[in-house]
Copies of this chain bind each other. A is one copy, B any other.
Amino acid sequence: MALAASETVVHPPASAPPLTGLTPLEAEAVDLFVGLAQVVGLPKSIGQIYGLLYISATPLSLDDIADRLDISKGSASQGLKFLRTTGAVRLCDEHGSRCDHYEAETGLRALATGFLKEQIEPHLESGEDRLARLKRLAANAPAAERTHVVQRVKQLESWHRRAAGLLPLLIRFLGK
């Protein structure tokens, strides 16, 4: 603060992809994916990274990403790890450079599959144990409530079946 009176704002070069900061187009794309990330419960940084890679015409390195988005290398590394294991991002065979470069996987089916496999399926599986335990407890409930709770647990089982059946259907619908 307390700028010298004569100080002037330095304007960035008018054209050419900046090494730091985002073009308006990139910023808009990043924003869109940040919003999407929020919707599916993922951290903002992951949305930023994927968004930048999605719109970028060329593969980007970890450092490119951290610099352009102004996030730490740590965040970039963690975010890319997640995106890699989830299949949303690919390491592309870099001809010239010494470091790894990434590009976005843009097939909706691949993205959805990765996300569902990683984030939803585990819950469906652990749900089975839960349901089994619930079923046992319901069977032992006091007589007055037994029919009611048994019915509810049956309904939960039906939900579970339907959810499990939904996953492959979803993937098919989004497919190729």
Contact = CB atoms under 8 A, between A and B. Distances in A.
Interface of A: 15, 23-25, 28-29, 31-32, 35-36, 39-41, 54-55, 57, 106, 108, 119-120, 123, 126-127, 130-131, 133-134, 137-138, 141-142, 144-145, 148-149, 152, 155-156, 159, 162, 166, 169-170, 173-174
Contacts of A120: 39
11 contacts: A25-B134, A29-B134, A31-B130, A32-B127, A32-B130, A32-B156, A41-B41, A54-B152, A57-B144, A106-B152, A108-B159
A123 B35 contact: yes
A142 B58 CA distance: 14
B31 A149 contact: no
Q: Which one of A55, A141, A145, A166 has the highest number of Cβ atoms from chain B below 10 Å of its Cβ? A: A55
A55 B25 contact: no
Contacts of A24: 137
A53 B142 CA distance: 18
- Copies of this chain, whole number: 2
A29 B147 CA distance: 16
Contacts of A106: 152, 155
Nearest to A166: B173
Given A123-B39, A162-B108, A148 B25 contact: no
Contacts of A141: 23, 25
